[in-house]
Chains A and B, each alone.
Chain A
Amino acid sequence: MFKGMYNWIDERLDVTPMWRDIADHEVPEHVNPAHHFSAFVYCFGGLTFFITVIQILSGMFLTMYYVPDIINAYYSVDYLQHQVAFGGIVRGMHHWGASLVIVMMFLHTLRVFFTGSYKAPREMNWVVGMLIFFVMLGLGFTGYLLPWDDKAYYATKVGLEIAGSVPWIGGYIKELLNGGTIVGAQTLTRFFAIHVFFLPGVLLTLLAAHFFMIRKQGISGPL
């Protein structure tokens, strides 16, 4: 049945060559753990992406219950964590996944660094990877405020003080992120918007560029 459906679509849209471009490519021997077990270090990039997908999915589901409002934010998180079935699991995926994404990304960066994969002609991909790294940190920082508990509140105060310590323009950056002069209602809505719309948009664009370049240039050669 699926074969028939696939053929029907393929006759009309000729998707097979696209599929071949995206997924059907050789894995060189030096990155295949079946040949050299140590090649598992080449998995960290894919693992980072895998966890990113989990983050996007679990985040989408969390917004079914969460409200970015200073009165209700904490109660909505408390409700989804304790009253909703699998709430602890779904929020747990997002909570632990956030840390895990940073860990995987760090390991991926180490692998790229120590295999010299950032060298010509792949410098641009290194730069895009660094941008992804900062976007991920931004996602972590903005997401941390959303439960609106004590930890979130003081972590954000500290983070904004650090932003405010930038010479000359620090004060402006701080007030812009704050949405005013205090960490309050406007900070929460602002961080929510940045966390679920702005940064994910930037992240997906950068990931597309990252993946386009690796497919175009191929995996770097063996050491």
Chain B
Amino acid sequence: MDHNEQQENAHKPIKRNEMTRRQFLSYTLGGATAFMGMGAVLPMLRFAVDPLLQKKQAGAFVKVIEESKVTTEPQQVDFQVHQVDGWYESDPKMQAYIAKGDDGKVFALSPICKHLGCTISWSGEEAPNLYHCPCHGARYSKDGKNLKVAPKPLDEYQVKIDNGWVYLGPLEANTRV
């Protein structure tokens, strides 16, 4: 850049990206409005999604049956778990089919059908030595393997054995099939 050019540049009007007063006002007013609107709306949204972000209740283990009474034939056991549902606390009844597997380990299956959530039962005239579901005829093996209709094997309770008693914990996906 030589001297002449520098002189010329000095006399050129400064180029700026002009913002009109109207634009400036609509940006500031719009921004302030959006800010205040968010101030009102965000708490409500956080309030609404709270159940997603609440700490999940740690599943407690419940004492259900003496280990010596568990046989290779699945048997139904009923037990209660303490459940906190928002402002409502209750002790809903749960059910499990508990048995000793071929490997000699005690396991407990949930009787909730993996097809559409009906309650299944063990054995009977229609399905000897199988779990069967009365709603749409799903069948499961003793280990909970889905043989008919259902898309997934039966869920399994976590099992803990302590001092000769069997304790059942939270449900998990079947580990035996």
Interface residues of A (CB under 8 A from B): 54, 57-58, 61, 64-65, 72, 75-76, 78-80, 83-87, 89-90, 93
**Is B86 within 8 A of A87, CB to CB?**
no
| Highest count of chain A CB atoms <10 Å: which of B44, B46, B50 | B44
> Is the Cβ of A85 less than 8 Å from the Cβ of B86?
no
**B24 within 8 Å of A (CB atoms):** no
Q: Which of A57, A58, A75, A84 contacts B50 (CB 8 A)?
A: A84
B87–A78 contact, CB under 8 A?
A: yes
CB distance from B2 to the nearest CB of A (A): 46
- Complex contact A89–B86 (CB within 8 A): no
Interface size on B, residues (CB 8 A): 12
B87 partner residues in chain A, CB cutoff 8 A:
72, 75-76, 78-79
B residues whose Cβ falls under 8 Å from a Cβ of A: 40-41, 43-44, 46-48, 50, 53, 86-88
Tell me the interface secondary structure of chain A in the complex. helix
Cβ-defined contact, B86 with A76, below 8 A = yes
Known contacts A75-B87, A78-B87, A85 near B50 by CB under 8 Å = yes
Which residues from chain B contact A87 at a C-beta distance below 8 Å? 47, 50
Check B86 against A65 for contact (C-beta < 8 Å). yes
Q: Are A86 and B41 in contact (CB under 8 A)?
A: no
Kindly identify which residue among A72, A75, A79, A90 contacts B43, using a CB–CB cutoff of 8 Å: A90
**A89 and B48 within 8 A (CB):** no
Contacts of B86 in A (CB 8 A): 65, 76, 79, 83
B132 to chain A, nearest CB (A): 38
Q: Is the interface of B mostly helix, strand, loop or mixed?
A: helix
B47 to chain A, nearest CB (A): 5
7 contacts between A and B (CB under 8 A): A76-B87, A79-B86, A84-B47, A86-B43, A87-B47, A90-B43, A90-B47
User: Bound complex: CA of A89 vs CA of B50, how far in Å?
Assistant: 14
Q: Which residue of B lies closest to A79 (CB)?
A: B87
A85–chain B nearest beta-carbon distance, Å: 5
Contact of A72 among B44, B50, B53, B88 (CB under 8 A): B88
What residues of A have a CB within 8 angstroms of the CB of B40 in the complex?
54, 57, 93
A89–B48 Cα distance when bound, in Å, is 12
Find out whether the CB atom of A86 lies under 8 angstroms from the CB atom of B47: yes
The 5 A-B pairs at the shortest CB distance, nearest first, are namely: A75-B87, A79-B87, A86-B43, A89-B43, A61-B44
**Are A61 and B88 CB-contacts (below 8 A) given A86-B43, A89-B43?**
no
Question: In the assembly, what is the distance between CA of A61 and CA of B86, in Å?
Answer: 16
| Docked pose: A87 CA to B44 CA in angstroms | 8
Report B-chain residues with C-beta under 8 Å of the C-beta of A89: 43, 47
Q: Which residue of chain A lies nearest to B40 when distances are taken between CB atoms in the complex?
A: A54
Give complex CA distance A87, B53 in Å. 14
